[in-house]
Structure 1
Amino acid sequence: MNKSKIVITFLIWILLSQIANAQFVSRFSIFGGFTAGWYIPDISTINTELNKAGIPSLNTDGAVTLGGHGYLDVPKVTGLRLGYMGTGFTLNSNQVSSGNLKKKASLVYRMGGLSAEYVSLLGKYFDFTFGSNFGMGSYTVKLFQIDPNYGNWNTVFGEIGSNGSSQTISRNLRQTFYTIQPKVGIGFQAKSFLYFKFNTGYSFTFDSGWEDENGIELTNVPGNIKADGFFTDLSVNLGLFFR
């Protein structure tokens, strides 16, 4: 089985090499990698709502994003790069005590989609890109109020069975959105198989409203709670590159 995988991989490598070196192809690359970055959403309204509930503000300086992607420089179409990508972050507030209760919150961003870029070579090792990501994702506000005495298995099921109430509360308020993310970037071909890429851009989002963890639509939501934001990222990529 392992020998078969090696043979198949070798044959695919030869095939891609022949395609890339054919005269009708000006440039061919196929690669993928890991991305780390920074995303700065406007969370001022979210923080206002959290403070009303007695929860500390989230960090307004931004959050570390982690993700991955795969790209293809399209044969026969000079400069066109298509791909897919996914990224996300989580922001956590500090935990605060209110009487005998503890309160905290998290903001979770998840996004995935397609990417289209134009690539312009800048000499032998560098290139300049501009284009956009097109995708959809979720923006979730998680609220927690915790009773220190909570955690007994029988108590949990007893509350449900007796239609009782609890001071331990967990809420997931989620917004589903669509996004367009114009971006520019600089790429560096460090080795024949190794490529670094820096991008920066802005995310414009269009949401479809908010709902809770049970799918119940939320009303009276402040209109300016959106996942829009400035982003930068740096990726490390491995693949086949023919310049």
Structure 2
Amino acid sequence: MTSGSPAPGEPRQQALVAALLALTSYSDVPFDLDSHAALVLRHAVSVVPGSALSIEMPDADGALETVAASSAAAASFAAHPAHASGPSTAAYTSGDAVSVTDLSAAASAWPQQRSPATDAGFHALYAAPMRQGLTIRGVLVFYRSDASPFTATDCTYAQALADTAAIALIAHQTVADQKILVDQLQHAFTTRLIIEQAKGFLAGHLDIDCDAAFTILRDHARSHSARLHDIAREVMRTHTWPPKDT
């Protein structure tokens, strides 16, 4: 090999790196599962060549459902009732990848898959659980229509893509949760601030201490079935007592 020549497998390595970077990139655009799934499908073509793909995630009842597929055949196979008790569910519940080299074989461990696999035109299957630690977020299921088996490299790359997709999902959810928490804290701070301002105004207006001012605000809110911070906001808006709109 001459100096500077690409090493065997390098294009796939570059494709995997590109997929990892794309899936773990963040922006100000709100996270969207459909867009995330589309990104996984787009990169899977280069990471595991010659494969169709479905992405399956649990619904509210914990049963896997297809959220995206790279082809109509993959979507049809994944939606078949027999698929629910097949390799993808086994991979999801166990957290271990499941490989089937011949879906049509009479001795297959998944006989219920034979007819729908034949109808869809698939020969081999590899189900890679989307793992982040002990948490399983779903399954990436790769299909092949010919007898070429999934190699060890195929399986390694497929699992890397699946795990990165899971990590990205959890990271995006963490960011979303943090934003919700920040918004809640900001709301709490703003609410507390307006109440403190109203207490200070009322204490000076009535020549009483702040504790007594707070009691008056609270009792007024209760007697009018109003929220305390709404009463406080009205006091500061009008600088009058009692508030005109209550």
Instruction: Specify the TM-score bucket, using the shorter chain as the normaliser.
Output: under 0.3
Q: RCO (CA 8 Å, sep 6+): is it higher in 1 or 2?
A: 1
TM-score normalised to structure 2 length: 0.23
Q: Which has the larger radius of gyration?
A: 2
Structure having the larger proportion of residues in helix: 2
Structure having the larger proportion of residues in strand: 1
